[in-house]
Structure 1
Amino acid sequence: MAQQKSIRPENHNTLGWRLFLVYDILMMAIIVFNLFCLCANVFLMSSFGQLFFDEIHLPQVLAFYKSDLHPWVIKTEGWFILFLVVELAVRWLIAIIYKHHQRWFFFPFVHWYEILAIIPYLRFLRLIRAGIIAYRLHELGYKVIPDNIMKKVLFYYRVVMEEISDRVVVSVIDGIKYELDTSSSHKKIIHDLVDHHRDIFAQALAEILQDALANELKAQQNLIADHVGHIVKKAIEDTPQLTQLLRLIPIAGSMIENQIQNIGQQLGENITHGLIDPLTEGSHTQPNQIYTLISDKVSQLNIENKKLEELVESVVYESLESLRKQVKIKQWQIELEKYDQSKD
């Protein structure tokens, strides 16, 4: 069976696996033969078929088909439909017993093409099942379909699926932009969008601060401390009142002035280290509490601000437009160009 992969024995040398393999091949052959007979019947029963056999001077062959073989084609099609119904019911029962799906009623949705293929006007969907069986046999190493044909089939399948999905996505994006342009509640939509991502934004911002700011502060900590120390020392030197006061002390005044300058420099360095150390703690998985607090506060900013609203709207619109441009890129055309270039 084409979709009973979950109940297949994993060992390809077992009798059960071989029976499944034979059944798959038999089903594929029956489906192809059935569709061939139906297509031939449509041709032979049409006015074009009548004209064709008249042209080749074999009207008696067509008459024989209409009188003797056509009724059997109709009967066998009825039998085959009955067989498909019974086979589908048996597989559904097996799927329920072995719990192939989370819910018992999922089976018809997974095998929708097989159910629709039972309808006479949708017989062509049986080709999907035959194709799936052929593809699975191809994956198992049985070259049912030549590699060049398989590549072409997969290529055109991707073309069709990409064109369908692209049109759906572009339509959805255009619909969203239209709603944002025309709806009076578009601001509420944007606000809801921002509110929904506040926690994620806060977490991302905390990680960015931890990875960028904390690491850079740790790397530049000594340089910043030295710089602050020199600033404090320079500030003491540039304080004339203190210099004049110390010079009133004979002999020891200049020594005290130098000591005060050194003490001021060390004090500035120590204060700088004390201020920077808490900012360098934490890791990527557990960001610093200060950064976490800053991120939480930033993420809770009220966007009831004209400029901020314009910024958020611009981000939303440009994101939709970028997504639309990306979706409109035809990947199959790029692949086809690469293939043509490889041939040159």
Structure 2
Amino acid sequence: MLRFNRQNLNNSHEGPWLLLDLVMLGLLVINLLWLILDMLYASRAIYDTLAIHWPAFVDAYQPIHDNFALIDLIFIGIFLSEFCLRWVVSIVRKEYLRWYFFPFIHWYDLVGCIPASGARIFRFLRIFSILYRLHKYQIIDLRSTRLFRFMAFYYDVFVEELSDRIVVKVLSDAQKDIASGSPLLEDITRQVLAPRQRILCEWLAAMMEHMGSSIADAEHGATVREHVQSSVGKAVRDNPNISTLKLVPVLGGTIERTLESSVTDIVTQSLINLLKDVTPDKIEHFIDNGLNRFTTEEQALEDEVLLVVNECLELLKSHVSTQRWKSAFETQN
């Protein structure tokens, strides 16, 4: 049920304009109902029925029907006056970037004022715009009405069905491109990545140098050094040749621990030097000479990856095609 919130009406400081909206809403409803009545009255079947059963009504309404255009012009004059008043107010308030934007944004108000049967239907849109303004200031809550929930539900159904069809079509086209060996990946590599290869190499070299500096730092590199120490220590302890050092009396354990610490420092420092010594030229050389040599096994692996991508797209299509609105409809019922 539609309810008015008087407190929000007072807090909005738009009382006069919202009151004007209510007045215009009432006039629009009266005008539209009268237009429907006059249209029905003009039909031969309705006229004959009224003439037989309610001749007094025909005698009273016939002068109004004969002056239909003149009376409608009175309504049009009121609507145009209200439109011009709001236009002036919008200019004063600077609601739009340009003063002449108002009639283009509210075009349906002007079209609805055209005294032609085809244009009068746009007066319905004026009702919706007034209801929207009232809803915007929370004077009324359209969401609490059954009509709004009904229209919102079927609007969501329409949007979901339409969007699902579009998404499934796009994914199907992507699958066809992958299956036919689309050169999309090659085009991306050649046209997007290749012109920026130098910049990307410089960025990658800077990141690797930053990682090397972080590892060399006593605080930030502690985790990496602990991992290296753990790995090297395990490798030293598992090595059969080094394990014989324990057989050396007195100094065997000390030599093993010293060797473990030394190897840990060497590996850590080698990793730091490797990261710091990588230059953009070396990365670019690696890209130019190392990434373009594919073996038969690597090509088969690439084909398998494409199959995985295709299966993922197929699962995504089946998920998108699920009509979730049916579940919501069953839940409501």
1:225 has 2:210 as partner? no
Greater length-normalized contact order (CA 8 Å, ≥ 6 residues apart): 2
- 2:10 aligns with 12
- 2:123 aligns with 126
- 1:62 aligns with 58
RMSD: 5.3
Q: Which letter maps to 1:81?
A: I
Q: What is the CA distance between 1:100 and its match in structure 2?
A: 1.6
Structure-to-structure mapping, 1:106-145, within 5 angstroms: 106-119=101-114, 120-137=117-134, 140=137, 142=139
1:46 has 2:46 as partner? no
Q: What is the CA distance between 1:84 and its match in structure 2?
A: 3.1
Q: What is the CA distance between 1:135 and its match in structure 2?
A: 4.8
The alignment's TM-score, normalised by the length of structure 2, stands at: 0.61
- 1:335 aligns with 328
Aligned CA distance change for structure 1 residues 71 and 310 (closer, same or farther; 3 Å) = farther
Aligned CA distance change for structure 1 residues 12 and 187 (closer, same or farther; 3 Å) = farther
The residue matched to 1:156 in structure 2 has which SS? helix
Q: What is the CA distance between 1:266 and its match in structure 2?
A: 1.4
1:35 has 2:70 as partner? no
Aligned CA distance change for structure 1 residues 171 and 143 (closer, same or farther; 3 Å) = closer
Q: Distance in 2 between matches of 1:144 and 1:32?
A: 19
The residue matched to 2:10 in structure 1 has which SS? coil
Q: What is the CA distance between 1:63 and its match in structure 2?
A: 4.8
Count of aligned residue pairs for this structure pair: 290
Q: Deviations over 1:261-317 (max 9, x none)?
A: 2221112333455567899xxxxxxxx999xx9xx99xx998999775995797589
- 2:154 aligns with 159
The alignment's TM-score, normalised by the length of structure 1, stands at: 0.59
Q: Deviations over 1:77-98 (max 9, x none)?
A: 2233344344334433433443
CA contact (8 A) 2:109 2:122 kept: yes
CA contact (8 A) 2:41 2:47 kept: yes
Q: Distance in 2 between matches of 1:58 and 1:171?
A: 56
Q: What is the CA distance between 1:25 and its match in structure 2?
A: 0.7
Q: Which letter maps to 2:50?
A: F
Structure-to-structure mapping, 1:168-183, within 5 angstroms: 170-171=165-166, 174=169, 181=176
Q: Deviations over 1:217-265 (max 9, x none)?
A: 976863552331242355473598xx7xxx9xxxxx6445544322211
CA contact (8 A) 1:233 1:264 kept: no
Q: Could you list the runs of 5+ residues in structure 1 that have no partner in the other structure? A: 1-9, 248-252, 280-287
- 1:92 aligns with 87
Q: What is the CA distance between 1:20 and its match in structure 2?
A: 1.1
Aligned CA distance change for structure 1 residues 95 and 263 (closer, same or farther; 3 Å) = same
Aligned CA distance change for structure 1 residues 90 and 49 (closer, same or farther; 3 Å) = same
Q: What is the CA distance between 1:130 and its match in structure 2?
A: 1.8
Q: Deviations over 1:301-338 (max 9, x none)?
A: 98999775995797589659837853x55555443333
CA contact (8 A) 1:236 1:264 kept: no
Aligned CA distance change for structure 1 residues 21 and 309 (closer, same or farther; 3 Å) = farther
Q: What is the CA distance between 1:43 and its match in structure 2?
A: 1.0
1:263 has 2:261 as partner? no
1:74 has 2:74 as partner? no
Q: What is the CA distance between 1:121 and its match in structure 2?
A: 1.2
Q: Which letter maps to 2:45?
A: F
Q: Deviations over 1:104-143 (max 9, x none)?
A: 5543453343344334414333223323433543565655
Q: Deviations over 1:169-194 (max 9, x none)?
A: 73476378559858x99635984599
